[in-house]
Structure 1
Amino acid sequence: MSDDKKYITAEELKKHDKPDDLWISIQGKCYNVTDWVKEHPGGDIPIRSLAGQEATDAFIAFHPGSAWKYLDKFFTGYHLKDYEVTDVSKDYRKLCSEFSKAGMFDKKGHGVIYSFCFVALLMSLSFCGVLLSKNFLVHMVSAALLGLAWMQISYLGHDSGHYMIMTNRGFNKLAQILTGNCLTGISIAWWKWTHNAHHVACNSLDHDPDLQHLPVFAVSTKFFKSLRSSFYGRELTFDSLAKFFVSYQHFTYYPIMCVARVNLFVQTFLLLFSTRKVPDRALNILGILVFWTWFPLLISTLPNWTERFLFVLLSFCVTSLQHIQFTLNHFAADVYVGQPEGNDWFEKQTSGTIDIACSSWMDWFYGGLQFQLEHHLFPRLPRCHLRKVSPIVQDLCKKHKLPYRSLSFYEANVWTLRTLKTAAIQARGLLWEAVNTHG
């Protein structure tokens, strides 16, 4: 019996990688998502990053089984002639299927309720400390409690962005706006925009926004060639200012982390008031206005400007622990330049992530994200399951001779500082060369 299917090769599929001609392949079937990319709930960046490629593993990672039924209307009629599934992908897909059949993607436990209660307690104590006491020490403890609350709120926002933590999509969106915009001042729209791109292009120097921190940080000397960011659509210029900052980045790393939250506020405003299409822009702006109403009012009740400054600074310094954690997960991992490839999904996640080893009683502090590889492989998996699946992921990495790096918090800091110092020393050489050449 003859095969009436129409076929194209992987090389021919690659030609369909333009904004006005965008195809992807899922399980060997080619789909034209040129128009859909503008409506994609996860944003356009993830799809554009995998344009013209086989993207089954990425699709499985981010979408529930119910999403498959929407693919048919985009089917081009073409199948991928040289479609093959690697042994690693077979094992990965099998794991996803097993987790799904076991209901693990839907069973979230009671962690969300506990987290909301904990956040409410922390914020209540912080507010009471500011409003009901005139003691300086109590005010500083209140600042620390607020910073700790922001950390826990961020984990809830992160979880709600990856999967529904509430009973339906409407309540889940409300939770996103509340935890992101209203309580932290950081837009959930900005987070989705950058975070989804990070997951798809994990540790690609020119595609992953979470590694693009010039002029203050450069985790690789490849930044010295002024790479072009496909995410921001601009040149990441390694100019004299960047050379200077990067030359001392292993010294400035912790101080900058203490005020890194300011950058998140700036990025939020830049996105919400840009010409770029932003989902739920009005709702996001309204949420930001809520934050910039209650937070300044709280600060204004403190007795003098010295205490106000110290309160803000201390609360930001506490949240720096979270910023440090996120950089530890990736700064010292393997990096590459170029578009992510859909046919090595598992391999790219293992090479670009580092876990932080800790006791189970500390899981609340890290929000489950100390299991960074597990989260990257199964982003829809509720955090309560990440520790359970860790041994399975380790075995799979061992089977396929792939790295599984789990370091203590101290060791991860050492690795990160070493990475920053290595780049700094080379940047310093370029700096002195420039000074001697140009005076």
Structure 2
Amino acid sequence: MGRGGKRGELSWSEVREHNKREDKWLVIEGQAYNITNWAGRHPGGSRVISHYAGQDATEAFKAFHNDLTSVKKFLTPIHVGPVEDYEKSNLDEDFQTLRQTAEKMGYYKPSYFFFLIVIAHILVLEVMSYWVMAYFGTGWLPCIVSMMCAVTVQAQAGWVQHDFGHLSVLKNSKMDHFVQNFLMGIIKGASPHWWNYLHFQHHAKPNVINKDPDVALDKLFVIGEVMPVQVAKTRTKSMPFNLQHKYFFLIGPPLLFPVYFQFMLFRHIYTRRLSLDFVLVMIYFFKYFYLFTPMLGLGGALVFYFTMRCLESHWFTWVTQSNHIPMNVDNDQALHWMKLQMNATCDIEKSFFNDWFTGHLNFQIEHHLFPTMPRHNLYKVAPLVRSLCKKHDIKYEVKTLWTAFSDIIRCLKHSGELWEGTYNAFHS
């Protein structure tokens, strides 16, 4: 649908019509672009850019790219024309000023020493997870200590690979992804491509039904105010969602990594023929079984592995879901970038433990607003974000770690009750 045009030819109503799978336009800084064919070549994946079809993608475009000058050269061939009635709101202007202030204050500059220390402590614990049992034997105490080291390695490697995946450390796509491949593939035994493919979609449209893969839970759980009602009205057979706050403890954190993630990452590698990711994951498994099978036997090594994955899964699930499940979950309302992120995220109080335990994802609000900002600077920009939220009457929520965890169960219970009431009303 490669239409050219002169200023004044395009209206927002016309742009919004191009939001179909076979016909997609989006707007960046008042200019419309036809991404129908380009989406398939987009380095971040076709879905993450397609989620903004028919919408203003200006702030998302700026948030995801470190070097806007080099990226903009790809826009010229797909340019359609200016949008006649495109106007910046006061929030647009203020958020742009906030971003520029953060850049001037150096908040986008990483501390290489910080990330070196983080990676070093992961590697030390990686060695310890093997050495403890190799030196002290496989009694219950060495096994517990080794397990604690291994689980910590997996959780912390997950947090720091996330930083490199966002290009927030080295600010260079090839170099950041090289380190991410090492951490995600060889240290964690997972597919970096699979992680990025899902995670970028989450950032583009957090908590948006049918766009954020992290809330595509409706086969097992319903969350928010909208999803329970939609599921109750359209399905006559489903899980007993009124009990989901109870069975969450059985099939949520315990099984996410050892079952679902294990299946999905290999499925992703196989269906997309990702040879590099396959090699990286195989290196991890060769390393693991080569080291642990002689000490534990094959059966023992498998038990140790899946126990580690189960404990890691608890750590990951409680941390990541505490910022999102209790927040607003809705269909796409084409909200402004800041309002979209603020509706879907909350912060957890700062402390040395919270920063370490969550990989600085206790500053989830700031991370979502500025995904390429190094995590150790997120707390610095938080007061500026809070001030802007106050000016525009946008809710800025900070919780204790325990409250954030408790809210997951509270919200699951509430959504389950909402589903039950709607289901009984429509299918009685």
TM-score (norm 1): 0.87
2: CA distance, partners of 1:237 / 1:297? 50
**Partners of 1:353 and 1:373 within 8 A in 2:** yes
Q: CA deviation at 1:185?
A: 2.0
Q: CA deviation at 1:109?
A: 4.2
Q: CA deviation at 1:349?
A: 0.7
1:236-247 aligned at under 5 Å gives the runs 240=237, 242-244=238-240, 246-247=241-242
Q: Which residue of 1 aligns with 2:93?
A: 90
Q: Which residue of 2 aligns with 1:38?
A: 40
**Partners of 1:130 and 1:301 within 8 A in 2:** no
**Partners of 1:215 and 1:238 within 8 A in 2:** no
Q: Which residue of 2 aligns with 1:249?
A: 244
Q: Which residue of 2 aligns with 1:130?
A: 133
2:319 to 319, 322, 325: 325
Query: What letter matches 2:59 in structure 1?
Result: D
Q: CA deviation at 1:198?
A: 0.7
Q: CA deviation at 1:431?
A: 8.1
1:57 aligns with 2:49: no
2: CA distance, partners of 1:17 / 1:74? 19
Q: CA deviation at 1:376?
A: 0.4
Q: Which residue of 1 aligns with 2:15?
A: 13
Change (3 A) 1:432 1:20: closer
**Partners of 2:29 and 2:58 within 8 A in 1:** yes
Query: What letter matches 1:129 in structure 2?
Result: V
Which whole-Å deviations, capped at 9, do the CAs of 1:143-180 have from their partners, x for residues lacking one? 11111111110111101110153474333222121111
Q: CA deviation at 1:382?
A: 0.4
Change (3 A) 1:366 1:13: same
Q: CA deviation at 1:320?
A: 1.2
Query: What letter matches 1:134 in structure 2?
Result: T
2: CA distance, partners of 1:292 / 1:8? 54
1:323-362 aligned at under 5 Å gives the runs 323-338=317-332, 341=334, 344-360=336-352, 362=354
1:98-247 aligned at under 5 Å gives the runs 98-132=101-135, 133-166=137-170, 168-220=172-224, 222-224=226-228, 240=237, 242-244=238-240, 246-247=241-242
1: CA distance, partners of 2:100 / 2:142? 51
Q: CA deviation at 1:71?
A: 4.6
Q: CA deviation at 1:35?
A: 2.3
**Partners of 1:144 and 1:315 within 8 A in 2:** no
Change (3 A) 1:355 1:399: same
**Partners of 2:347 and 2:364 within 8 A in 1:** yes
Change (3 A) 1:401 1:182: same
2: CA distance, partners of 1:194 / 1:37? 16
Structure 1: gaps spanning 5 or more residues: 228-235
Query: What letter matches 1:347 in structure 2?
Result: K
Greater shift in the superposed pair: 30-39 or 365-374: 30-39
Query: What letter matches 2:30 in structure 1?
Result: G
Q: CA deviation at 1:66?
A: 2.9
Change (3 A) 1:168 1:428: closer
- Classify the secondary structure of the residue corresponding to 2:44: coil
Q: Which residue of 2 aligns with 1:272?
A: 269
2: CA distance, partners of 1:311 / 1:29? 51
Q: CA deviation at 1:6?
A: 4.3
Query: What letter matches 2:62 in structure 1?
Result: I
Q: Which residue of 2 aligns with 1:233?
A: none
Which whole-Å deviations, capped at 9, do the CAs of 1:378-407 have from their partners, x for residues lacking one? 000000110111111111111110011110
Change (3 A) 1:306 1:72: closer
Change (3 A) 1:16 1:428: closer
Query: What letter matches 2:315 in structure 1?
Result: L
Aligned-pair identity in percent equals 25
Q: Which residue of 1 aligns with 2:3?
A: none
Query: What letter matches 1:182 in structure 2?
Result: I
Q: CA deviation at 1:295?
A: 2.6
1:367 aligns with 2:371: no
2: CA distance, partners of 1:237 / 1:137? 52
Q: Which residue of 2 aligns with 1:66?
A: 69
Change (3 A) 1:368 1:238: farther
2: CA distance, partners of 1:311 / 1:38? 37
Q: CA deviation at 1:33?
A: 2.2
1: CA distance, partners of 2:387 / 2:400? 20
TM-score (norm 2): 0.89
Change (3 A) 1:46 1:135: same
2: CA distance, partners of 1:168 / 1:191? 18
Which whole-Å deviations, capped at 9, do the CAs of 1:48-92 have from their partners, x for residues lacking one? 110122211111111123345325523535211110111112111
Q: How many residues align?
A: 417
